[in-house]
Amino acid sequence: MEQTANHFLGREPVGRLMMKYAVPCMISLLVGALYNIVDQIFIANASYLGSYGNAANTVVFPLTVIALAIAVMIGDGCCAFVSLSLGREQPQDAKKSVGNAVVMSVAGSILLCALYLIFSDTIIAMFGGTVNAETFARSKEYFFYITLGIPFYMFGQAMNPVIRADGDPKFAMLSTLAGALLNIILDPIFIFVCKWGMMGAAVATVIGQIVTAALAVWYLCHMKLVKPAKTDFKPEAGIIRQTLILGLTSFLSQISLVAAMAAINNMIRKYSALHGIFGQEQYAQIPMAVVGIVMKFFQIVISIVVGMAAGCIPIVGFNMGAGLLNRVKTLFSKLLMAEAAVGAVALIIVECFPKELIGIFGAANESVYYTDFAVRAFRIYLCMMIFACVNKACFIFLQAMGKAAASTVLSMVREIVFGVGFAVLLPLFFGLDGVLYSMPVSDFLTFLASLYLIFRTRRQLSDEHAANPLQSYA
């Protein structure tokens, strides 16, 4: 029964499977994204923190993404490996992948935590934290306590896709939701009642992450389809290599985003100093705080998009492994349409209601320059949201199919070549606005490449299905 327990992935209607797997995954990632966003909302509405606290949150945010990048590489790679292995009826390989993923996540998180603590000042400076003295001080305080929670955060995030691969996307969702809800409850208590400032926001986050990690540990002891034995936790080079290769796209999509954020933060710091208004000391932190808020809204949308796509990884992996290619093609079409719809709704929101969005992040406590720049930033920076959503779905789907090379190249082109390149190049011609233009230009050019890969992938699936029609309907 262990080998056939998840054969429903090859039989049930694709649309129903998408709802079963994609929705809980989407909620899990959305809730996970809310950790940092909720911190920023409460920080922004605390008058004693304001835009300085917002800017500090923006500085530290990409450093948490580095931790997430490592975690999702391990977790998504394991999820894809487990799904492919079960589709090929190789359960022992699936068990080894889970055991090795646990070891990698624990070892990697401890190492990253140590590096953050040792080189904290240098790292904060690299991500634009020296825009002024107040921002640096608040960044350092927030970063220290967030770093202490890195092992719990990474473990919970790495195990989330593993739990989905084991056939329980609802538990994966609920474990993340439990930690996030606790964070939402504790944030206002620590920030407004206890007056702990940036430390309070960070501690609330870490407590929530501990709860999620604890629930993941419990689930690992009660797995359903894949039950690793003690020997499966012994590091095995072949299993580790294959797991990391399958998760490489997830890692690069996150880590390259960090490179883009570092470039953007430093360009903001540089060109704000040359701006007529933001070159003044009391307003210097505003562009960084605002762009951070715009990125947080984008993160909410992308969490939905990535969640929908990542939730389909077990379905894609099983059907690819079992040779059910027509089902894979159908799933690809449905996913792309759903992702484009999400992007369209998000685009309407940012273009029509930017003042309402910025109002959530404490605009009432700030100058008119804060609101004016925020409205402009939302409308320019996110004007290609539909293309951005389709791009992300394409990256992840190709990864789930085992096409790691194509997925990785496309992701790297978007985030490094375009994301970093245009963030550095366009401000030379357009000043501070050039930073805002870098996002839509990158998304549009990447979409052209994605479009080519989408049509090529669909054609390949059709050709292989035509060559093996009986297998594809097995």
Helix 50-87 vs helix 133-148: angle between axes, to the nearest 10 degrees? Answer: 30
CB-neighbour burial class of residue 58 (10 A; exposed 0-12, middle 13-18, buried 19+): buried
Range with the lowest mean pLDDT among 28-32, 168-172, 227-231, 242-246? 28-32
**Residues 120-165: tens digit of each pLDDT:** 999 999 888 887 888 899 999 999 999 999 999 999 999 988 888 8
pLDDT digits (tens, 9 = 90+) for 58-72: 888 888 889 988 998
Contact 32, 176 (CB under 8 A): yes
pLDDT at residue 94, as a whole number: 86
| Phi-psi region at 158: left, alpha or beta (left = phi > 0; alpha = psi -120 to 50) | alpha
Nearest alpha carbon to residue 312 among 397, 249, 254: 397
Q: What is the pLDDT of residue 322?
A: 77
Q: Which has the higher per-residue pLDDT, 29 or 137?
A: 137
Copy the structure tokens of residue 114. 């140590």
Ramachandran quadrant class, 125 (left: phi over 0; alpha: psi -120 to 50; beta: rest): alpha
Q: What is the pLDDT of residues 333-384, one digit of tens each?
A: 899 999 999 999 999 999 999 988 888 876 666 778 888 999 999 999 999 9
What band does 472 get if pLDDT is binned at 50, 70 and 90? very low
Per-residue confidence (pLDDT) for residue 2, from 0 to 100: 42
Query: What pLDDT is attached to residue 196?
Result: 93
pLDDT of residue 36: 67
Residue 225 DSSP one-character state: S
Tokens of 269: 């710091």
Distance CA 167, CA 156 (A): 17
- The model's pTM: 0.73
How high is the pLDDT of residue 362? 65
